[in-house]
């Protein structure tokens, strides 16, 4: 567990795919019940990851963009190895060229990783950092694989991060290599569902319990985990005794990868001291307690 | 640490009938000692189906950390 300066999320903007897909008739009744994902959203043909990212970031008011002193893009689905998504969006927004802009890749665990880096950069520079987090998962999915494709939504988030002067934030990370969740360069995403479930049950739960015990945070206002599937999310909250703090969005937006955490915070109006947890490919897991400002 | 699970004893036969239905095997093939993989229908997907349906029908709650470790039908009664 790493104790850091307060990481403050000042604003989160979201862009999702515009095409709504009904999962009823695709997933069995039992799979619908387990996942809770009755619908998902994918981008229209021809929409790129850059388009989706700019769509989210462009919602940030211009007077807030001038305060940005760095850009981090967390994604695994950039169609192009370079130019990097962070650099492309920074230029498109007209940001100063003399700021750090770089991409990271940690699949569904990425958001807490990106916030940790952004929080350090914000503290070091005294400026705000733009975190872009999300993916076009549909482009890397096998349409015939009902164990993966119906779960995934395309979405991108844009978060403004600053360094606060209040209570510390806490972050922690966990990883071990496994092919039970894999994706070659051109796809498709392949997943051993029960293997991932077992990883979450047997390794992520103890990791999160240790994190909470070490952070010893007594004032958690909300718990926002990665929206992998609704049964797992509810069971996870139950294991951590955080049922009454749990916020979810999967029942409306399915699984948008690592963007599920910022999407849930934005769409559900979450604010205060928020415990977030990511987990997924690597295999990996991440946790953070951050401060989320209430957005008007 | 073992978690005590209260599975109503009068419902145990109903549980075996549920497992028989989900695994698509004769009830006579199942008992408390039946292990994961002993019958072809008890695979990973049906394991989770049995967990979820048992929780709903019998009012029990299995700790997430224990679910992958439940390897005999007896494990559904006590953990």
HEC sequence for chain B = CCCCCCCCHHHHHHHHHHHHHHHCCCHHHCCCCCECCCCCCCCHHHHHHHHHHHHHHHCCCCCHHHHHHCCEHHHHCCC
Phi, psi for residue A219 in degrees, rounded to 5 = -125, 50
CA distance A75 to A85: 8
pLDDT at site B1: 43
Mean of per-residue pLDDT scores for chain A: 96
At B65, the pLDDT band (50, 70, 90 cuts) reads very high
**CB atoms B48 and A200 under 8 Å:** no
Segment 12-71 of chain B within 8 Å of chain A by CB: 44-45, 47-49, 52, 61, 63-69
Tens of pLDDT along A80-104? 999 999 999 999 999 999 999 999 9
B13 pLDDT more than 60: yes
**CB atoms A201 and B52 under 8 Å:** no
Identify the domain containing residue A75 by its residue range: 1-296
A194 in contact with B, Cβ within 8 Å: yes
Q: What is the ipTM of this complex?
A: 0.81
**CB atoms B68 and A193 under 8 Å:** no
> With contacts defined as CB-CB under 8 Å, which chain A residues touch B75?
none
At A13, the pLDDT band (50, 70, 90 cuts) reads very high
pLDDT at site A83: 96
pLDDT at site A82: 95
**With 0-12 CB in 10 A as exposed, 13-18 as middle and 19+ as buried, what is A128?**
buried
> With contacts defined as CB-CB under 8 Å, which chain A residues touch B70?
none
**CB atoms B68 and A33 under 8 Å:** no
A29 in contact with B, Cβ within 8 Å: no
Omega into A198 within 30° of 0, i.e. cis? no
Q: What is the mean pLDDT of the segment spanning A138-160? A: 95
**CB atoms A198 and B66 under 8 Å:** no
Q: How many domains does chain A have?
A: 1
H or E segment to which residue A155 belongs: strand A155-163
pLDDT at site A78: 96
Q: What is the mean pLDDT of the segment spanning A263-292? A: 98
Tens of pLDDT along A150-173? 999 999 999 999 999 999 999 999
Nearest to A34 among B48, B63, B69 (CB): B48
Q: Is the pTM of this model over 0.80?
A: yes
Nearest to A205 among B48, B49, B65 (CB): B65
Nearest to B64 among A34, A194, A201 (CB): A201
């Amino acid at each position: 567990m790493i104790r850091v300066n307060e990481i403050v999320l000042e604003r989160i903007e979201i862009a999702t795919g515009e095409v709504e897909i009904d999962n009823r008739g695709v997933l069995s009744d039992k799979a619908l019940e387990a996942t809770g994902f009755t619908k998902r959203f994918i981008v229209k043909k021809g929409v790129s990851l850059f388009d989706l990212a700019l769509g989210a970031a462009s919602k940030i008011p211009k007077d807030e963009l001038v305060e940005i002193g760095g850009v981090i893009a967390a994604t695994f689905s950039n169609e192009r190895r370079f130019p990097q998504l962070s650099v492309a969006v920074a230029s498109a927004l007209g940001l100063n060229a003399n700021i750090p802009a770089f991409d990271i890749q940690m699949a569904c665990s990425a958001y807490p990783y990106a916030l940790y880096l952004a929080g350090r950069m914000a503290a070091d520079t005294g400026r705000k950092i733009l975190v872009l987090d999300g993916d076009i998962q549909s482009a890397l999915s096998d349409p015939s694989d009902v164990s993966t494709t119906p779960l995934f939504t395309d979405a991108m988030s844009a978060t403004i991060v600053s360094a606060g002067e209040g209570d510390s934030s806490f972050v922690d990370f966990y990883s071990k290599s496994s092919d039970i969740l894999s994706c070659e360069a051109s796809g498709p995403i392949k997943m051993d569902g029960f293997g991932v479930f077992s990883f979450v049950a047997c390794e992520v739960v103890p990791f999160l319990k240790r994190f909470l015990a070490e952070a010893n945070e007594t004032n958690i206002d909300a718990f926002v985990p990665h929206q992998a599937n609704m049964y797992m999310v509810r069971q996870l909250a139950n294991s951590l005794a955080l049922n009454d703090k749990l916020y979810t969005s999967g029942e409306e937006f399915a699984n948008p990868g690592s963007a599920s955490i910022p999407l849930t915070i934005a769409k559900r109006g979450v604010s205060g001291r928020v415990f977030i947890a990511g987990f997924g490919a690597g295999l990996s897991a991440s946790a953070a307690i951050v401060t989320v400002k209430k957005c008007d | 640490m073992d978690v005590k699970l209260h599975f109503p004893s009068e419902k145990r036969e109903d549980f075996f009938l549920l497992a028989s239905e989900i695994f698509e095997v004769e009830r006579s093939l199942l008992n408390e000692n039946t292990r994961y993989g002993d019958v072809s229908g008890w695979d990973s997907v049906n394991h989770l189906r049995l967990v979820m349906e048992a929780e709903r029908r019998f009012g029990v709650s299995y700790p997430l950390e224990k679910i992958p470790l439940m390897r005999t039908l007896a494990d559904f009664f006590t953990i």
